[in-house]
Structure formats: structure tokens, C-alpha cells
Structure 1
Amino acid sequence: MTKNDIEALFDEWNGALQSGDPAHVTALYERDAILLPTISNQVRHNHAEISDYFSDFLALGPWGRIDEANIRRFDGLAINSGIYTFQFNDGSSVQARFSFVYRWNGSRWMIIEHHSSRLPECGQPG
């Protein structure tokens, strides 16, 4: 798998967001994946909880773009971490740090961990 292939996994995920269907997005996560979401304080531990988060998030009409990506590959794992920005239907946006951890399941790359946290306000220690 090349760097471009790993970048394409984000494009697939972002495209699933555009579908507006939480099940489409959730299908990209392993059944026991962990999601630490951007706009919720609740850690999501499984498909039901991940789908619940995306039901609310997708209602905002998100569209993401990567501002900085750092890609690494280790045997059956791939990691993409950096900064991304989401634009929403109401014209607002949020910039966040992200980490996607993917695992090869024998037929495709699946998200096993996804962390996304809003960037702190400029000038804040931390």
C-alpha cells in the first residue's frame, strides 16, 4: 500500500460523509473500533455508538479536507494523522487534529481507531 492509497482511505471516508447515511460511514469502521469524535464528549466503542454519533454529525452537512497529513505504515497497520477542516451547511467550520488507524482485515483496510479533537483556541497554553 502506497501513501496515495492511504490518502485515498480518507477520500473514501469523506465521500461516505457526503452520502448522508450513517450506516455508510459506520461500515468503514471495524465492529469494535474506537471513535473519539470532534463534536461529542462521548467515546464510541462499537458500530451502534459510532452510527449514533454520525447520525447527528451528518445532519450538519460536513465536508472535510486534510490540511496536513502524516502517513506511516507498519505491516498490517496504517496511520494517517494531522490536521483537517470541516465545512458545514450553515457556513461554519471547525479545524481539528485527527488520527486514523487502519488495519488490513484480509480483504480491505478498516478503521480501528479514529481520534478527532478540535484545535485549541490560538494563544491558549497547551
Structure 2
Amino acid sequence: MKSFILAAALVPALAFGGAAAAQDGKCPTVSQADVELQFTAFNDAWATKDPDKVAGLFTKDAVLLATVSNKPRTTPEGVRDYFVSFLKNSPQATIDSSSVKIDCATASRVGTWTVNMKDPATGGARAVKARYSFVYKYDGGAWKIDHLHSSMMPEPS
């Protein structure tokens, strides 16, 4: 049921993005592997600890619903601001499960991941199991993150 709700939530975004690109007849070529590489670029940007590099991967009107923030980030400044503090924890993620969907000028990748980072309270290592959804949009000749939602698993594993 939860998967259905997530899929239903993504359908309008995917339909809108695809319709916009289909009107001018220009659909970029993209494969599942290309979409998966977007995560590698994102994880590599985290490793730099540079909030500008990470924020640069997002569209200008992206939505970031982050695991460790109650505040939705809906502006480039808001997205960057989130990563200023988050990157201090040296995050690195691994994908545990993944499902990729591709449309004309949008693509999504949803699943579960483990984010390994420094625990700010203890300074020790911490592994956070979470769900994620990335929606990518082909924007200005490049694939960008248009929506990112991550939330910790609600049940102990």
C-alpha cells in the first residue's frame, strides 16, 4: 500500500514533466544506468563537503524533504543551507534497494539506502537506514534533482 501511495504521488510529477518535453518533441536519451549514475554524482558531491557542489545538482525550483530536517527546502538557498550543516557529518550512502522509472524528460529512483555518517552527539560512526525518492528532470541540457525525499525507516530492522 505504501508503495502505491508513493507511486501515486510521483505520477503527476512524471506526467507533467513528460508532457512538457513531449510538446517540443525533444526527449533526451537516458537509460536506467544513466539514472543510477546520478546517485553516484550526488554521493561524490557529498564527499567533497561542499554545499555549493551538492546544491548545484538540484533544479532551481527543486523540493528537498530531508531526513534530518523538519523544514521543506524549496529554494536554491534553502537546499544549500541544509547541506551546509548536514555535510559536516561526512555522509556517504549506499543503495540497498532501487526501482527506476523513466519518462520523456523526467526519471525517478526510489528505494532504500543506508547513510553512514558521523554522529554529531558522540563523534562516532552512525548508519541511518532510510527510504528515498529522487525525481530527476532534464533541465538546461543536464539531469538535475527536482525532488528528493528521504525519511528514516519507521520500524526497527
Deviations 1:90-124 (A, max 9, x none): 3111011000000112411011110001111238x
Matched, 1:101 2:135: yes
Structure 2 Cα separation of the partners of residues 32 and 107 of structure 1: 16
Alignment of 1:1-80 (within 5 A): 1-80=30-109
Structure 1 Cα separation of the partners of residues 79 and 137 of structure 2: 17
What is the percent sequence identity of the aligned residues?
Answer: 35
- Structure-1-length-normalised TM-score: 0.94
**Structure 2 gap segments, 5+ residues each:** 1-29, 119-123
User: 2:125 — aligned with what?
Assistant: 91
Paired letter, 2:99: N
Paired letter, 2:43: N
Structure 1 Cα separation of the partners of residues 87 and 52 of structure 2: 11
Q: What is the Cα-based RMSD across aligned positions, in Å? A: 1.1
Tell me by how many angstroms 1:79 deviates: 0.2
Tell me by how many angstroms 1:88 deviates: 1.0
Paired letter, 1:43: P
Larger radius of gyration: 2
Deviations 1:59-83 (A, max 9, x none): 0010101000100001110000000
> Which structure 1 residue ranges, 4+ long, deviate > 6 Å from structure 2?
none
- Structure-2-length-normalised TM-score: 0.76
Structure holding more helix per residue: 2
Alignment of 1:100-119 (within 5 A): 100-119=134-153
Query: Mean alpha-carbon deviation: is it higher for 88-97 or for 22-31?
Result: 88-97
SS of the residue aligned with 1:42? coil
Structure 1 Cα separation of the partners of residues 134 and 104 of structure 2: 16
Structure holding more strand per residue: 1
